[in-house]
């Protein structure tokens, strides 16, 4: 007996059976999610470059842009994941497809974890790069 999940792929079934079950996500959403993910990758690259360059002779001022780049990368990832999740949910909720149950895979969990790590590391770099407050209130910069 053939699995009903394999009917989505045309090379597993006959042509007539494949036409009966067409589940498609909206192509525009997939393209926009991929573009946002590329922006996230660019922000991560720029943040990494800033961190590497800040290791040199007292260039701590590069930690602020690195923190902002990492935080922006995390925001881009969560936006991309949400766009894909809404596209998939719209496909599942359509009347053409009847799904008994579904679950998110490990890649969804990895994307959410990367969002948390990037935002946390970005905020940490921003806090580290903040100027230190004087220990005593009567100390001032002269």
pLDDT at position 43 is: 94
pLDDT at 77: 93
Write out pLDDT tens, residues 97-130.
666 677 778 888 998 899 999 999 999 988 888 8
Query: What is the CATH T-level fold of the domain 24-128, as seen in this structure?
Result: Butyryl-CoA Dehydrogenase, subunit A; domain 3 (1.20.140)
For residue 113, the model assigns a pLDDT of: 92
Q: How far apart are CA 102 and CA 89, in angstroms?
A: 10
State yes or no: pLDDT of 11 exceeds 80.
no
Single pTM value for the model:
0.69
């Amino acid at each position: 007996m053939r699995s009903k999940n394999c009917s989505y792929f045309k090379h597993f079934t006959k042509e007539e059976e494949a036409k009966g079950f067409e589940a498609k996500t909206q192509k525009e959403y997939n393209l926009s999610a991929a573009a946002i993910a590329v922006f996230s990758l660019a922000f991560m690259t720029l943040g990494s470059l800033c961190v590497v360059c800040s290791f040199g002779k007292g260039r701590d001022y590069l930690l602020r842009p690195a923190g902002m780049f990492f935080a922006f990368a995390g925001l881009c990832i969560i936006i991309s994941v949400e766009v894909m999740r809404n596209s998939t949910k719209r496909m599942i909720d359509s009347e053409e497809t009847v799904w008994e149950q579904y679950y998110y895979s490990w890649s969804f969990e990895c994307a959410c974890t990367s969002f948390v790590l990037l935002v946390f590391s970005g905020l940490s770099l921003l806090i580290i790069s903040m100027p230190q407050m004087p220990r005593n209130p009567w100390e001032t910069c002269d």
